[in-house]
Amino acid sequence: MKKFRIIYFNVLVLGTLLIILSCKKSEDDNGLDKKTKYHGKFYQLSINEIKPKGWLKQYLVNQKNGLTGHLEEAGYPFDSAGWGQKVVDSSSWWPYEQTGYWIDGMLTAGYLLDDDFLINKAKSKIYPVLEKTGTDHFIGPSYLKKKKNKHRWVHAVYFRALMREYEVTKDSIILQKMKSFYLNQDEENFHEIRDQLNIESILWLYQKTKDTTLYSLAANIYNKMNYEGFMDRPVTASSFLESKPVYEHGVTYNEIAKLGSILYAHSGDTKYLEPSIAAYNNIDAYYLMVDGVNVSSEHLRTPPHALQTHETCDIADYSWSLGYLLMATAEVSYADKIEKAMFNAAPGAVTSDFKALQYLSGPNQVILDSTSNHNKFFRGNTAMMFGPNQFTECCPGNINRIMPNYVSRLWMKENEKSIVAAMYGPSEWNGKINGAQVNIKENTKYPFAEDIEFEFFPEKSVGFSFTFRIPGWCTAPKVSINGKVSKQIYQPGNYYSIERNFVKGDKITLLLPQRAQLSKWPNNGVAVERGPLVYALKIDENWQALEPDKNNPKSTKDFPAYHVTAASDWNYALALEETDIEDQIEIVEEKWNLNPWSTNTAPISIKVPAKKIRNWKMIEKDTVFYAMNVPVQNNGKTLWKERSDFKKNGNFFFTPPLPDLKSIRDVDEESEMITLIPYGSAKLRIAIFPMLPK
């Protein structure tokens, strides 16, 4: 009997080896680690373990009461079409993109708030769709099945909501339906520039099911799009690795740039990671604006001067994509960049009640009305005004994802014996660690304050590693454990871990001093930055709600569009010495409140010396030419150029560029102290100032 067992064991081992060898070639060709190991440094947690607190919770409550909970107020497609209880066939893909963004953001906010209204509303646009899948396993309306212009990329948008739903409910029907959808598609259906974005959800499925067929599908799509000439646009691995400006749609750049980092996390092959890193190095080098997001109106443009803008969609997609690089590498710089975008660009593009947003927003904007878009792109139209849905529908959908996605990634893990405070904000984490249930409360007013307290409540004494971040901008941090200052030297731009047996009531406190500094921008521009916050001139804002009519069909009584004009002077130049900034300014802490993102409720301000430039004035025009991006065929290749032959007459007022030093005259002799508030609190703003010559 013993001999039989040995023979049986040897046959079993031999058979297993033969199976492994038969699979080895296809797996190795795709860079798949035979152990199907996750290679990222951090991984994301289920959002039902994370709860926002303080101002972050109030922000999401405002989303619920605003556009996130009531986006049907913004009109089509949110009021009648797209993914929903009645899936409406359409002659275009775009209603499915726009509503997909909304459902994802609504469901994420709902679970973070534990709010039945948001959760049930989002689910009503998920499960009826899944129930309608037929024998071909296709998810969605029949229009999207068409072979020509396949539009599978809208599934990548919509499936993020399904992924969220599975995170919380573990409903196996979601895995089953998504897997059947992908494995019953021709691979060529994903060989369009944005259709390849399904790599994100395919690899998520691979992570959940360990079905290597899914990994092979994702890797094959990536390799063909990047290395086999399937794509002639500057968003391939090789183009990312070239350090030079490109002309590309900003959202497309961000969405595609992240894909390599996701493949790396599941393969360990650095050939995937390196192009993703290079892509965001290029954004830093050529396109990154002072508010923390790349120029995109709608295309990447350089340089990032004071009048450049970005789509609100870019805020969502830039920060979401950087989250994958953070998880892949654990590099602090990615967390710093995400925070800067969240605390400046994100609140700066939406009203504090979350009922109106801008399609395009930027650092200098002193008038926002229905003709004040100062970009060449559709110059003189509604793209920069605040409203529920004033230009195109992607941003009203995508804005709902921005802050919920941030909150969902505040906390991460390295392994089952660690917890990582990856980014900061008032919140709490509840979950298992090293076999014990642990609650950690993050008590802070960050980014409006310098201190962050972590309070630990394990169910019993348990040993684990707590990892936290020292931002790259913080040069003199202090760390205290139960009131005792740590003697360790903490350098900026690093994650650090404290390993100990934690007991109920333990506290770890970070002090992250914020020091003001000047950042320099094109055309002699300077900005005041302090910690993760950029500061802008406080301008008295006159908000005029527009009556719903034929000129404002998407303005409603409860969700109006606005004309916003300045009721105070804005034409100031800073009068600062470039060294010892802290000695020349005054930091003022205002009364704390949970709605910090409006002009009148900003909880912190900075007084700085400045002089008024009286000849720096609004630009007035009676005729404008706006540019459109239109494709032109040239030897079989699609080139893009700007047209300027579209003429528009009217009365136009535009934010002016920074004054040329040679043109500055009529400057006040005496300086005065002006007030700067956080960028996100100022809807009208000057954030990049002229700097007077010494």
Neighbours of 572 (CB within 10 A): 22
Q: What's the farthest any 2 CA atoms get from each other in the chain? A: 104
Per-residue pLDDT, 29: 39
Closest CA to 560 of 571, 544, 580, 538: 544
Quote the CA–CA distance of 251 and 102 in Å, as a whole number: 16
Give the mean model confidence (pLDDT) for residues 512-516.
98
Q: Rounded to the nearest 5 degrees, what angle is found at the Cα of 654, between the Cα atoms of 651 and 655?
A: 160
pLDDT digits (tens, 9 = 90+) for 205-252: 999 999 999 999 999 999 999 998 888 899 999 999 999 999 899 999
Tokens 């001999």 -> residue:
3
SS3 assignment, position 157: helix
Q: What is the mean pLDDT of the chain?
A: 91
Distance CA 331, CA 341 (A): 17
CA dihedral of residues 366, 372, 377, 378 (deg, nearest 10): 170
Confidence of residue 578 (pLDDT cuts 50, 70, 90): confident
Report the pLDDT averaged over residues 44-50. 97
Res 18: pLDDT: 34
> What pLDDT does 642 receive?
60
Secondary structure class of 187 (helix, strand, coil): helix
Rounded CA-CA distance 538/606 in Å is: 10
Q: How far is CA 518 from CA 22, 24, 574, 674, in A?
A: 61, 55, 10, 16
Q: What pLDDT, on a 0 to 100 scale, did the predictor assign at position 628?
A: 67
- For residue 8, is pLDDT > 70? no
Residue 33 confidence (pLDDT): 44
H-helix or E-strand containing 283? Answer: helix 270-286
Buried b (16+ CB within 10 A) or exposed e, 447-458: bbbbebebbbbb
DSSP assignments along 508-567, one per residue: EEEE----EEEEEETTTEEEEEETTEEEEE---EEEEEPPPBTTBTT--SSS--EEEEES
Choose among 205, 200, 241: nearest CA to 221: 200
In the prediction, which pLDDT does 31 show?
41
Q: For 52-106, how does the pLDDT look when each residue is reduced to its tens digit (9 = 90+)? A: 999 999 999 999 999 999 999 999 899 987 887 555 556 678 899 999 999 999 9
* 667-693 tens-digit pLDDT: 888 899 999 999 999 999 999 999 887
| CA–CA gap between residue 117 and residue 591 (Å, rounded) | 32
Rounded-to-integer distance, Cα 189 and Cα 136, Å: 15
| SS3 assignment, position 691 | strand
Give the span between the Cα atoms of 682 and 684, in whole angstroms.
Answer: 6
The pLDDT value recorded for residue 67 is 98
Residue in the block written with tokens 């994301």? 44
Looking at residue 644, its pLDDT comes to 63
pLDDT greater than 70 at residue 583? yes
Q: Are 326 and 42 in contact (CB under 8 A)?
A: yes
Residues linked to residue 29 through DSSP beta bridges, in sequence order: none
Helices (H) and strands (E) in the chain — how many of each? 19, 29
Cα torsion 485, 486, 490, 493: sign: negative
Measure CA 356 to chain center. 18
Structure tokens at 519: 């950042």
pLDDT level of residue 509 (50, 70, 90 thresholds): very high
Q: What is the average pLDDT across 176-204?
A: 95
**Angle, CA of 108, 114 and 118, to the nearest 5°:** 55
Q: What is the pTM of this model?
A: 0.93
Q: Give the lowest-confidence range in 120-124, 150-154, 562-566, 579-583.
A: 150-154
Name 625's bridge partners. 647
The two structure tokens encoding residue 169: 């409910």
Predicted pLDDT of residue 85: 55
- The set of long-range contacts for 83-92, using a CB threshold of 8 Å and a minimum separation of 24, is 83/125, 83/126, 83/129, 83/140, 83/158, 84/124, 84/125, 84/128, 84/129, 85/124, 85/125, 85/128, 87/128, 87/129, 87/132, 87/140, 87/141, 88/141, 89/141, 89/142, 89/143, 90/141, 90/143, 91/143
- The answer to whether the CB of 604 falls within 8 A of the CB of 678 is yes
| Pairing mode, strands 43-44 and 411-413 | antiparallel
Lowest-pLDDT choice from 138-142, 211-215, 631-635, 640-644: 631-635
* β-pairing verdict for 516-521 and 462-470: unpaired
Q: How far is CA 582 from CA 131, 528, 576, 693, in A?
A: 61, 11, 10, 20
Q: What is the pLDDT of residues 395-448, one digit of tens each?
A: 999 999 999 999 999 999 999 999 999 999 999 999 999 999 999 999 999 999
> CA 594, 597, 601, 602 torsion: positive or negative?
positive
Q: Given this model, what pLDDT does residue 640 score?
A: 52
DSSP states of 585-602 as a string?
-EEEE----S--SSTTT-
Q: What is the pLDDT of residues 302-360, one digit of tens each?
A: 999 999 999 999 999 999 999 999 999 999 999 999 999 999 999 999 999 999 999 99
- For 581, residues 6+ apart whose C-beta sits below 8 A from its C-beta are 515, 516, 517, 518, 528
Whether residue 24 is predicted with pLDDT greater than 80 in this model: the reply is no
- In the predicted model, is pLDDT for residue 502 greater than 80? yes
Question: pLDDT class for 626, splitting at 50, 70, 90?
Answer: confident
Task: Report how far apart the first and last C-alpha atoms of the chain are (Å, whole number).
Answer: 96
User: Which pLDDT does position 4 carry in this prediction?
Assistant: 31
For residue 15, which amino acid is it? G
Q: CA 334, 338, 344, 346 torsion: positive or negative?
A: positive
pLDDT at 3 over 50: no
For residue 341, give both structure tokens.
């975008």
